[in-house]
Structure formats: C-alpha cells, structure tokens
Amino acid sequence: MAERVFLDWNAGAPLHPEACAALIAALEVVGNPSSVHAEGRAARNLVETAREEVAALVGAAPRNVTFTSGGSEANTLALTPHWQMGRETRPLGRLLVSAIEHPSVLAGGRFPTNAVGFLPVTPHGVVELAALDDRLSVLRADSGDTRPLVSIMHVNNETGVVQPIAAAAERVHAAGGLLHVDAVQSAGRIACEIDVLGADLMTLSGHKIGAPKGVGALVRRDAGLHLADPLVKGGGQERGFRAGTEAVALISAFGAAARAARRDRERNAAAMVVLRDRLEGALKAGSPELVVIGAEAARAPGTSLVALPGLKAETAVIALDLAGFAVSSGSACSSGKVGASHVLAAMGTPAALAASAVRVGLGPTTTEHHIDAFTTAWNTLARGLSREGRGIAA
C-alpha cells in the first residue's frame, strides 16, 4: 500500500512520540491524584508537572491552568457571566464574539441568547476593530453597570488568519471587560504568551499539538480572576474550577506535548512557512485561477485554504483521500454538515468559491516530498476538471 500523507493538522495532530511515552508511563500509575498516600502523590506529581509544562507553553502561572476534556469544554467554561475579579461586582452582562469563531464559542456558553452579539470580519478574515469599538461604546452608553466578555480566536481554524488580539485586549479592558481567546490553533505554532496578548482567559487543546484526544485547558492570566459558578461541580478538584478526578494519563501526555511544542516551535514554524509557500506556489502554477483565501492577511504557518473555481470541495477531498492524502473541506468539527462555511460566509466569500475551498494543514513531520506528491495529485485533479469543462473525455 502506498504511503498515506496526512495534511489535516488543523483538525488534529498525530500523537507525538514524547506524548505517547508519557501516556503509556502514566497508565501504570494507579493512584488517585486526590489521595494522600504514596500512589496518590505519584499521580498528583504527574498532573502538576504537566500543569507546569502547559503553563510554560503560553507564559502563564501553573496555578492558573485548569484541565478540561478539550477545547470545547474550556470554551464553554470560559463563556459565563459568573467571572469575578477582586472587588468588582458588576455583572458580565453581554458577550461579544467574532463571526468566525469555533461553534462552541458561537453557541454563547452560559449567556442567554439575547445577550450575545457578533463582531464582523473583513474580506481578508480579520476581526474589524472599529466594529468592536462601536459595540463597546454602545454598551457603555446603554448599560454602564454591565461589563462585556469578548471572545476572539487567536488563529482561525479554517483560514489560518491571525487576529489582532493585543489591540482587541486594550479596547476590551478600557471598557472594563474581559477577553477570552481561543488559542487552540496558535499555541505551539506561533508566539502565544497570555501576558503579551493581554487575554484574561485562554483555551488550549491537547490533540492539536500532539497529545491524545480528550484533554485541554482553560488558562487564566490573573489568579484573582474567580469563577463563582463552575460548569462541573462536585469534589473541588482543579482548585474548584472543574470537579472530577483528573485524567492523569491524558494530562501527563498533554504536558509532554506542550514541552515538545514549546521547544521546537520556532524551528517548526520556519520550516512550515517554506513548505506552505512551496505548496501554494505549485498549486498556483498549475491553476492560475486558484485562490488562496486569507493570503493577504497575516497567517499562522502551516495552513492553506485554497479554492479552485468549478471544483466541488467534497469531491476533491474524496478524490485526494483515494489518492492517499488526508485534507479537509473545512473545520473537522463541522464535518458531515450540509451548508457553506460560516467563516467564509462572514468574510463575504462568494458562495461558489466557498464551495470549492479545501484546507491543507501542514505539521512538523510534513516534508518537501509530501508537498510535491500532493501538488502533483491536485494538479491532476485540476486538469481533469478543466477537461470536463471543455467537454473532453478523460
């Protein structure tokens, strides 16, 4: 069987060898991390070591990391009116989210539907800061006793476009609000320090950086930020932010993946920029009409959302899969759904072009050989489409 080439790293990274080793080792630890005996302390040590590694990935204090079952739970935990900071008693009465967020953010968490507003993006996929200014001004004028919670992802999962988080944070804090950042696609791939970005809350996902599926984290910038009403209540684990016995093996593997991602980030990023440019150059050379969506904005390395007019994305994904290449026609979280990408709709991308968009996600183990093999397969597919359009039998 020919080698398969995995080019869907945005959906999930292969298990990193160091994470795999940590996972297997932790499975041998029998203690409950809440127990005080030696076995329990051994389990607790694994959890706290991983907490330090995950915190270091985003420049946070370990005590501010709360482990969850993944990014979606962390987003839902973050999006609540019940955050308190020091003596601040004004409620978080309004949630503003960008129109290109992950579905778990667009759902609004525990805010009532009528308290959720949406921020537009430019045709290049960048959140419109002027619109954020306008919304914050209206909120101050209409309800001065209510603070906003704003949620903007750091890197979009479909386009790879990097959002102006630090600039948004300045505006949100000037309005007395809090900023949540979904950093699932950025942590370990680009610089993502919570203090530098100014995010108050940050979501991470283990399987995006080579940990097993089923583990993530919500990170606070300030230990004084208190959650008055946790999403999961019970035994008081995770400093009261999330009840339930910690998934020791998954968390230990997450820590190992975070350590590797932080260590190798700059080297991996530099390599992926070269490969992404090689990919897009070859695709454009074969099909000059091909569009790289989001190319005029700052993008994280490793993500290419390409659209070839006349090509049906679902057909392309199936054909490429049969040829040995794993790519996606959009967010993996939306697979199986019928309808256009909400991200491309928010960008104003014409429907016909959006219907042809295929996401190619590169990772640390992607090679020039993989890129060249893929572009050959893609250009063969494109030539077949061209023959069909001219009525020539294949």
Using one digit for the tens of pLDDT, what is the confidence trace for 305-333? 999 999 999 999 999 999 999 999 865 45
**Does residue 164 fall inside a structural domain?**
yes
> Within this chain, do residues 241 and 333 fall inside the same structural domain, yes or no?
no
Query: What residues are labeled active site?
Result: 333
> Within this chain, do residues 210 and 166 fall inside the same structural domain, yes or no?
yes
Residues 178-223 have pLDDT tens digits of 999 999 999 999 999 999 999 999 999 999 999 999 999 999 999 9
Q: Tokens in use for 187? A: 């942590």
Strands 65-68 and 216-220: antiparallel
Q: For residue 187, give the CATH number of its domain.
A: 3.40.640.10
Surface-to-core class of residue 88, CB atoms within 10 Å of its CB (0-12 exposed, 13-18 middle, 19+ buried): middle
Contacts of 375-380 spanning 24+ positions with Cβ under 8 A: 375/279, 375/282, 375/283, 375/286, 377/320, 377/323, 377/324, 377/325, 378/283, 378/286, 378/320, 379/282, 379/283, 379/286, 379/287
User: CA separation (Å) from 117 to 49, 63, 261, 265?
Assistant: 39, 32, 34, 35
Q: Among the three residues 259, 294, 321, which one is the final residue of a domain in this structure?
A: 259
Work out the number of other CB atoms within 10 angstroms of the CB of residue 283.
23
> Within this chain, do residues 84 and 153 fall inside the same structural domain, yes or no?
yes
The reported pLDDT for the residue numbered 387 is 56
> Within this chain, do residues 231 and 319 fall inside the same structural domain, yes or no?
no
- Give the residue-averaged pLDDT of 38-62: 98
Q: H-helix or E-strand containing 329? A: none
**Does residue 394 fall inside a structural domain?**
no
Which of 58-67, 87-96, 366-375 has the weakest average pLDDT?
87-96
Q: Among the three residues 224, 259, 294, which one is the final residue of a domain in this structure?
A: 259
> Within this chain, do residues 78 and 212 fall inside the same structural domain, yes or no?
yes
Q: Among the three residues 259, 283, 318, which one is the final residue of a domain in this structure?
A: 259
Give the range of the structural domain holding residue 385, as residue numbers without chain letter: 5-14+265-389
Listed residue (24, 61, 68, 64) closest to 46, CA to CA: 24
Q: Is the pLDDT of residue 160 over 60?
A: yes
> Within this chain, do residues 130 and 39 fall inside the same structural domain, yes or no?
yes
> Within this chain, do residues 250 and 331 fall inside the same structural domain, yes or no?
no
Q: Is the pLDDT of residue 334 over 70?
A: no
> Within this chain, do residues 255 and 320 fall inside the same structural domain, yes or no?
no
Q: Name the residue type at position 90.
A: R
Angle, helices 368-389 vs 313-322, to 10°: value is 130
pTM: 0.94
> Within this chain, do residues 122 and 179 fall inside the same structural domain, yes or no?
yes
What are phi and psi for residue 177, nearest 5 degrees? -100, -175
Q: Name the residue type at position 373.
A: A
> Within this chain, do residues 129 and 278 fall inside the same structural domain, yes or no?
no
HEC per residue, 59-85: CCCHHHEEEECCHHHHHHHHCCCCEEE
Q: For residue 342, give the CATH number of its domain.
A: 3.90.1150.10
The reported pLDDT for the residue numbered 85 is 85
Overall number of domains in the chain: 2
Angle, helices 248-286 vs 368-389, to 10°: value is 50
Q: How confident is the model at residue 91 (pLDDT cuts 50, 70, 90)?
A: confident
